[in-house]
Amino acid sequence: MKNNNTKRVGLGFFDALTIVFIVLKLCGVITWSWVWVLAPLWGQIAIILLIVIIGVSIVLIRDGRRNGMFF
């Protein structure tokens, strides 16, 4: 029996992008607000929340149609 317990080690794309933006901001290369420098971090959260909201909406609409509540 195979043991497939693998762990992902390292930075993801958005993590690396955040580090690059922070370094550029601290070196004075970019003059963006810190909100935009850290946008890749909260951007990940926003994407996940959007996917969850869409998923829940689809489930609710499907259940509502089955029960004759919508449309």
pLDDT digits (tens, 9 = 90+) for 5-27: 777 777 888 899 999 999 999 99
Four-point Cα dihedral 43, 44, 45, 46, nearest 10 = 50
Q: How many CB atoms lie within 10 A of CB 6?
A: 6
For residue 22, give the nearest of 3, 2, 41, 50 by alpha carbon: 41
Query: pTM of this prediction?
Result: 0.61
Provide the pLDDT confidence category of residue 3 given band limits of 50, 70 and 90. low
- Domain chopping of the chain, boundaries: 13-66
Between residues 66 and 51, which one has the greater pLDDT? 51
**Per-residue pLDDT at 70:** 60
Burial class (CB in 10 A: 0-12, 13-18, 19+), 18: buried
Arithmetic mean of pLDDT, 28-32: 96
